[in-house]
Amino acid sequence: MKRAVVVAATTIVSICCGSADGRALPARVCHATIPLTLVHGANGTFLVARVAVGGGKPVPVIVDTGSNQLMIMRRAVGRRAKISPRIRVLGGYGVSGKVIGSTATGSFTIHGMPSATTTKPISFGAVTSFGGVAVLLSATGTQGVMGIGQLPPNSRAAFSPLLSLPSPLWKGYTIALHGPGGPKLILGTPTRAASSVSLALLGPRVQVGPFGGPHTPKRYPSGTRAYQGLFELCWNIAGQMACGPTLADTGNTFGFVGGGLLPNVPHTSMFVSPGLQISISTPPPRSRVVRAYLTAARVADQLPLYLTVAPFSRMFSTGIGLYFADTVGYDLVRGQAVITPVPQR
């Protein structure tokens, strides 16, 4: 792969009323803004934050709204973490092969101003082999993948580390790639504007492909009701339209179209044909377009859409592209995605 090119962002602080009980936070903080780095590799653009685990040094990790837990190279984990001696398969990322390593627990800090540290140890994967994802980590200069957007498949698997941050920071997060200070991850309940639209997040037991199902936890670590990171959007591709659960996935530059929802979309070798007009909107009756572009136009570094088969055939994914068109927040208390259009220059 080509060597990654890094664009750094400036740190911003957002302080307002609200008590925070973590040692890393001053009193009266209701949001913490974490600087993100846009890393441009051979296969698109990824978001990177810096975290420290088990008392170790801060290291860069990919921020992934399409997975549910922190997977980090074992060599990047601090000595105060407790790592199981058993080596096993921890999971995987799509078709990129198996992730091998050990389950572990330890403190977690995500670095910003202010930085935020969990009040209790989190569960995570101490990885010895990332399989096919190792190529991506090498190209982006990162040490792991921080899954923040989904629920674990069962009660034995780990949650997003953000859900174990002090209240009120665990209550939501927002990814804002535009505006003063550069790209950022804002921890805490999303801020709504007059132009914002709110969409219901799916419940934990609603099964969509590999997400949700009968064994998915119904509550967050805080004890409050849990939600998946999927919400319904309506897709119109060259005049063919369908609405369905949609994943806005920062861990994938490719978007995809469920083959079971729009089976007749023109395609070649499972990739949606180039030059087709795509419009993505909120469901009726108050539909609002949240993204519009041509396939294969490399708008905001989104690579071509592909047509999926099972288990992803009844859902859509915008890839990282939606975040370049809109500021997207997740209110984990109300169970809503909050989409705010980026003002056009």
DSSP state of 187: E
% of residues, the chain, pLDDT over 90? 74
SS3 of 68-120:
CCEEEEHHHCCCCCEECCCCEEEEECCCCCEEEEEEEEECEEECCECCEECCC
The tokens for 319 are 């890839």
Among the ranges given (78-82, 216-220, 250-254, 279-283), the one the predictor scored with the smallest mean pLDDT: 250-254
DSSP state of 211: B
Q: What is the pLDDT of residue 113?
A: 82
Residue 298 has pLDDT above 60, yes or no: no
Strand (E) or helix (H) holding 135:
helix 133-140
- Which amino acid makes up residue 237? I
Residue 84 has pLDDT above 50, yes or no: yes
Residue (of 147, 142, 39) closest to 92 by Cα position: 147
Can you tell me the mean pLDDT for 208-229?
95
Query: What are the CA-CA distances from residue 134 to residues 6, 66, 130, 157 (Å)?
Result: 18, 17, 5, 22
The model's confidence at residue 44, banded by pLDDT at 50, 70 and 90, is: confident
For tokens 């977690």, name the residue.
Answer: 108
Can you tell me the mean pLDDT for 198-203?
98
Can you tell me the mean pLDDT for 187-204?
97
What whole-number distance in Å separates Cα of residue 76 and Cα of residue 10?
Answer: 24
Residue 237 has pLDDT above 90, yes or no: yes
What whole-number distance in Å separates Cα of residue 17 and Cα of residue 154?
Answer: 35
Residue 4 has pLDDT above 50, yes or no: no
Can you tell me the mean pLDDT for 270-279?
88
Residue 52 has pLDDT above 90, yes or no: yes
Among the ranges given (17-26, 50-59, 267-276), the one the predictor scored with the smallest mean pLDDT: 17-26
Q: What is the pLDDT of residue 296?
A: 65
* Residue with more model confidence, 171 or 113: 171
- Which amino acid makes up residue 20? A
- What pLDDT, in 10s, does the model give residues 9-20? 333 333 454 333
Cβ atoms within 10 Å of 96's Cβ, excluding its own: 14
Q: What is the pLDDT of residue 126?
A: 98
What whole-number distance in Å separates Cα of residue 180 and Cα of residue 196?
Answer: 19
Can you tell me the mean pLDDT for 90-99?
85
> Which CATH number among 3.40.50.300, 2.40.70.10, 1.10.20.140, 3.40.190.10 corresponds to the domain 5-187?
2.40.70.10
Buried b (16+ CB within 10 A) or exposed e, 135-160: ebbebbebbbbbbbbbbbbeeebbbb
Q: What is the pLDDT of residue 243?
A: 97
Residue 21 has pLDDT above 80, yes or no: no
Half-sphere exposure (Cβ direction) of 52: Cα atoms closer than 13 Å = 14
Domain residue limits, the chain: 5-187, 231-341
What whole-number distance in Å separates Cα of residue 71 and Cα of residue 56?
Answer: 15
pTM passes above 0.75:
yes
Q: What is the pLDDT of residue 14?
A: 39
Q: Which residues pair with 233 in a beta bridge?
A: 244
Q: What is the pLDDT of residue 79?
A: 97
Among the ranges given (87-96, 205-214, 225-234), the one the predictor scored with the smallest mean pLDDT: 87-96
For tokens 């009980």, name the residue.
Answer: 21
* Residue with more model confidence, 142 or 179: 142
Can you tell me the mean pLDDT for 13-39?
62
* Residue with more model confidence, 341 or 40: 341
The tokens for 332 are 């984990």
Q: Which residues pair with 36 in a beta bridge?
A: none
The model's confidence at residue 233, banded by pLDDT at 50, 70 and 90, is: very high
Q: What is the pLDDT of residue 16?
A: 52
